[in-house]
Amino acid sequence: MTELKNIRNFSIVAHIDHGKSTLADRLIQLTGTVAERDMKQQLLDAMDIERERGITIKANSVRIEYPAKDGQTYILNLIDTPGHVDFAYEVSRSMQAVEGSLLVVDATQGVEAQTLANVYQAIDADHEIVPVLNKIDLPAAEPERVKEQIEDVIGIDASEAVEISAKTGLGIPDVLEAIVHRLPAPTGDAAAPLKAMLVDSWYDPYLGVVVMIRVIDGVVKKGDQIKMMQTGATYKIDKLSVLKPQMVDIAELGPGEIGVFTASIKQVRDTKVGDTITHEKKPCDKPLPGFKPSIPVVFCGLFPVDANDFDDLRDAIEKLQLNDASFSSEMETSAALGFGFRCGFLGLLHLEVIRDRLEREYDLDLITTAPSVVYHIHMKDGTMQELHNPADMPDLTYVDHIEEPRIKATILVPDEYLGDVLKLCQDRRGIQLDLTYAGPRAMVVYDLPLNEVVFDFYDRLKSVTKGYASFDYQFTEYREDNLVKMQILVNDEPVDALSMMVHRDRAEQRGRAMCEKLKELIPRHMFKIPIQAAIGGKVIARETLSALRKDVTAKCYGGDATRKKKLLEKQKAGKKKMRQFGKVEIPQEAFISALKMDS
């Protein structure tokens, strides 16, 4: 068991692409944790999709042994965290398990929106923060300006910031020394009853569920009978290891240490993240406060293209939920798309990543419906319902008012694009809260409705600012607004999969765009088809798809005009009857294209 004063637990936080994973690589390489031949870039990003997109999705941990200049050997437990706003939940969990953070800031870009969000999480967790300026070898690097910016915008002292280049390895020994001398050692009592925090869990096809813990007090040994305090379940520890990214077996873990164990746990559902683990016979008095559970903000339906793949989709979703605590799902059926799942995500990137993993790792073809958010429907009898799918909207005569989720969005943008960003936020029903300057860039804070953001806000923001804006948001509250359910009727039949919630002022333009799009997508039939957008009983937009017609008078040569008239009247009556009983086939591609509508 390592002495407490020789342990340092820390995480690396930064904006996307400021070099967290590369810095982790250098720290691992310099201390010889991994043999040179096994070294590869982004060593801690294990998933294919992480390596391909160049982003971190799961927080990963590694234990490094470092012989410092003062002659002591230190154990450093490093957690590399994601930078994207959709995976902020991973960051907040990692923060609770460690005492300090390295704040990595790109010396050419300076402080970005996500830098702020992640630093505030570290400050909330009472971390000691060491600023690190990365990419110092680039000609565009301005370390002095960025140090000032860190002091002005974040308010932490950056005079002793470590200047490094994670790519070339310049200044990495200084980072190790700063970790050892500037970050605090953990506290804990080895003689007290066992108290350990469950930081993460994932499914391994060979070992079953692997659980990552941070020991606060007490000692955990191989063969111990342990108890999870939230679920009350008890297990016997089969294997205790530390991660040097690969698992290395160890006999015991003491206070302040981070490690993993397996205990023949069958399902990851049995391991609640943030739970407290203690000994069955001699438990600790009270559990740790745990984490706030993650709240999904974006919902969408996932349906298999081929209805026979439904069972495969169900298995795949269950396996992914084992690995990702912030992803939720429930079954749903749709008249147009058949059986599928209504899934909840933390954001659009999270949605994309899950969809990619389902298609890739489980070889499925999927249809994704338009993303929507959860509305609160307040009824006249004083009750409140959550509305996940606009098709389930109750009768309006019983509804008192509808509330939608609002967010606080922080956007950092170069001055010349500020006007476009303000216009975009106004168009999306935003309320401006604040506008300040951080150096040459404006920092705009807006109160926006979430349903306007989940659709395509991020893409529009990137296009109006040529990719220079950075964007971060947090959920604030539910607020009442004038929202209505817009239905699409094809040949007077409502199409469930296309109904959506819109603001009343926007309904007409959304409805018109949808009808025009469907007119192009639905193939013509033998009878004319009206396509309408309606709110309740009131039609607000309409397009008519003209009929295909056969020339019934072709066989008439000469003779009386009444012969032709009779044939045309007969055709007209037939078309009228056909329209009454005819079914309109809407091809699946039409659904997909209509839902990808770019307003």
- The Cα–Cα gap between 107 and 84 comes to 19
Instruction: Say how many C-beta atoms besides its own lie within 10 A of residue 260's C-beta.
Output: 23
Q: Concatenated DSSP letters for 97-155?
A: H-SEEEEEEETTT---HHHHHHHHHHHHTT-EEEEEEE-TTSTT--HHHHHHHIIIII-
Closest CA to 502 of 487, 484, 516, 514: 484
Please report where in the chains the tokens 């040529």 appear, as a residue: 466
**Binding annotation for GTP:** 17-22, 134-137
**Binding annotation:** 17-22, 134-137
Residue 381: is it exposed, middle or buried by C-beta count within 10 angstroms (0-12/13-18/19+)?
Answer: exposed
Closest CA to 332 of 292, 372, 359: 372
**Alpha-carbon torsion (238, 240, 243, 245), positive or negative:** negative
Instruction: State phi, psi for 300 to the nearest 5 degrees.
Output: -155, 160
Residue 142: is it exposed, middle or buried by C-beta count within 10 angstroms (0-12/13-18/19+)?
Answer: middle
Closest CA to 326 of 561, 91, 52, 12: 91
**Dihedral class, residue 262 (left if φ above 0, else alpha if ψ from -120 to 50, else beta):** beta
Instruction: Say how many C-beta atoms besides its own lie within 10 A of residue 547's C-beta.
Output: 15
* Residues 277, 212 contacting (CB under 8 angstroms): no
Helix (H, G, I), strand (E, B) or coil at 307: helix
Reported as half-sphere exposure (CB side, CA atoms, 13 A), residue 143 has a value of 17
Instruction: Say how many C-beta atoms besides its own lie within 10 A of residue 308's C-beta.
Output: 7
